[in-house]
């Protein structure tokens, strides 16, 4: 069974991409095996998951992938019911576009401000 792939993207930083990615993944993990792909070079999703205390580990695995993203997603998507891709805050590297090209759904978090709506 192929997984559903969700990409969380916005070219602006600070819009809540990682927060949405982490919370969505935890919610989806209640329904099936879920993986977070941290495609942001800042590695915030991986750091966040690593902050969980040992007695209550983060319930979803996080891996870092930014190069060859479509190929890697195709390779691992049979092992999970849900994949959540935390994209970097830029469109210039092509990582977000590659993630979106293999996604079933793309979520774009925005704040209620003119600058965020423009981005």
User: Which whole-number Å values give the CA distances from 63 to 40, 45, 103, in the listed order?
Assistant: 11, 9, 17
pLDDT of the residue at 117: 67
Residue ranges of domains in the chain: 4-118
Percent of the chain clearing pLDDT 90 (strictly above)? 47
pLDDT in tens, 12-56: 788 889 999 999 999 999 999 999 999 988 888 888 777 666 666
CATH number for 4-118 (one of 3.40.50.300, 3.40.190.150, 3.90.1640.10, 3.40.50.10860): it is 3.40.50.300
CA atoms within 13 A on the CB side of 26: 11
């Amino acid at each position: 069974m192929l997984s559903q792939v969700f990409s969380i993207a916005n070219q602006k930083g600070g819009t809540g991409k990682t927060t949405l990615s982490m919370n969505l993944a935890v919610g989806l993990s209640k329904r099936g095996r879920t993986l977070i792909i941290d495609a942001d070079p800042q590695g915030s999703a991986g750091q966040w998951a690593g902050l969980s205390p040992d007695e209550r580990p983060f319930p979803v695995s996080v891996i870092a992938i930014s190069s060859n993203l479509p190929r890697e997603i195709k390779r691992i998507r049979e092992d999970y019911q849900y994949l959540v891709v935390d994209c970097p805050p830029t469109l210039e590297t092509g990582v977000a576009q590659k993630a979106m090209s293999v996604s079933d759904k793309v979520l774009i978090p925005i704040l209620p401000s003119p600058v965020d709506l423009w981005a």
